[in-house]
Amino acid sequence: MLPDNVRIVDNPSVALRAFLDGRKYTKVALVVDENTERDCYPLVKGALPSHVLVKIQSGEENKNLSTCTDIWRALTDEAFDRKALVVNLGGGVIGDMGGFCAATYKRGIDFVNLPTTLLSQVDASVGGKLGIDFEGFKNHIGVFQKPQAVLISSEFLKTLPFREIRSGYAEILKHALIADASHWEELKSLDLKTADWATVVEHSVAIKSKVVTSDPTEKGLRKILNFGHTIGHAIETFYLDSPDGRLLHGEAIAAGMICESYLSVKKLGLAEEVLEDIVSEITEAYGLHEIPEADFEAIADNTLQDKKNEGGVVMAALLETLGKATFDVALDRAEILDALRYYAGLPVKR
């Protein structure tokens, strides 16, 4: 079951018009970046009343307070009041940041997210997590707040580069691994180039929704969604400033899932053959990212900033079996280094 506010739609323009019909917003802003302005704006423009276009620069490096200031200023300059609406048209950066700006503008106005990447459709569309990065730490400043609507359309995916599709796919794999073994088996035969994404996304969002519903503010079970992210985020952050080695979110999470599956074997007795299956599927899709031993210590340092930690102890979500995860598993530094060493030592397929 999808959450109340999330809909998979064929035509985003029709869906947006239906949402706006009968609602009386005093003003509407549309937040875009240069990519979504070019590729996605034409798909929804017709549905919007007269609106303010707020254009920001794409990229995780712009998901910060400075860009928020630009968005808040645009709303302020246009005298947006508390009955105004913000529509976020873009991937995770725009949804998280545009949502955060709306949720904090005059202590919160309505916003609608139109996720345009596979990653944001399966991940950011559920759970109401909003926020921005702060001095190198991902999603460090933010709030929990649900959009009035999330309209998911695979029309938006048609203009995405394959690498972006593959990045989003990592979260789909994750949802299957932590909560739906049979979906994992189905995904193994999926061809990323020809997949029917509307169906796959709907299934994956439903898995996430079930987890989130049971724990809206991340006190417990929801933490299993962090599988792959303790080490994955640390890797992503480490390579954020590296021009060549830069990883997309899903690519880092793919590496993180391998590391944390390895630790699941060590600490929770996950079956070796499940680890092999995971490594095989993930490396087939993503290959292996080169992580030199010289970087291990700094990556381990980064895991200390994870939001799920408690009292300076790194807390991870690990797999008990295929399709079942557990949370608040304490990891020590040696284990994190060991997992990175395991990953770096995997044989490269030719």
64 binds a copy of itself (CB under 8 A): no
Contact mark string toward a copy of itself, 258..297, x via CB under 8 A: ----------------------------------------
The label of the residue with tokens 């309505």 reads 110
* Options 40-48, 130-138, 281-289, 329-337: segment touching a copy of itself (CB under 8 A): 130-138
141 binds a copy of itself (CB under 8 A): yes
**Smallest separation, CB 225 to a copy of itself (Å):** 14
Q: Which of 143, 271, 298, 346 binds a copy of itself (CB under 8 A)?
A: 143
* Options 30-38, 132-140, 242-250, 280-288: segment touching a copy of itself (CB under 8 A): 132-140
Choice between 26 and 199, CB closer to a copy of itself: 26
Crossing angle of helices 333-344/296-303, nearest 10°? 130
Distances (CA, A) of 152 to 87, 117, 122: 13, 10, 9
Q: Give dist(CA 251, CA 171) in Å, integer.
A: 10
50 binds a copy of itself (CB under 8 A): no
Distances (CA, A) of 129 to 5, 100, 212, 217, 313: 14, 9, 11, 9, 23
Contact positions with a copy of itself (CB under 8 A) in 66-105: 69, 72-73, 76, 79, 81-83, 103-105
Q: Which of 311, 334, 347, 349 binds a copy of itself (CB under 8 A)?
A: 311
22 binds a copy of itself (CB under 8 A): no
**Which H or E run contains 15?**
helix 12-20
* Options 8-16, 39-47, 193-201, 307-315: segment touching a copy of itself (CB under 8 A): 307-315
Choice between 129 and 166, CB closer to a copy of itself: 129
Q: Give dist(CA 77, CA 73) in Å, integer.
A: 6
41 binds a copy of itself (CB under 8 A): no
106 binds a copy of itself (CB under 8 A): yes
Which of 161, 168, 204 shows the shortest CA–CA distance to 186? 204
**Among all residues, which ones are annotated catalytic?**
107, 129, 171, 208, 218, 222, 226, 229, 233, 249
**Which H or E run contains 144?**
strand 137-144
CB atoms closer than 10 angstroms to residue 286: 23
**Smallest separation, CB 78 to a copy of itself (Å):** 10
**Which H or E run contains 51?**
none
- In the numeric block, which tokens belong to residue 238? 């480490």
Q: Which of 5, 309, 324, 333 binds a copy of itself (CB under 8 A)?
A: 309
Name every residue whose Cβ is closer than 8 Å to that of residue 24 and which is 6 or more positions away in sequence: 83
Q: Give dist(CA 240, CA 251) in Å, integer.
A: 12
Q: Which of 59, 108, 269, 287 binds a copy of itself (CB under 8 A)?
A: 108
One-letter amino acid of 251 = E
Query: For residue 93, how far is the Cα from the chain centroid?
Result: 9
Choice between 131 and 168, CB closer to a copy of itself: 131
Q: Give dist(CA 158, CA 200) in Å, integer.
A: 15
Rule CB under 8 A: which residues touch a copy of itself? 26, 65, 69, 72-73, 76, 79, 81-83, 103-108, 129-131, 134-135, 137, 139-144, 217-218, 304-305, 307-312
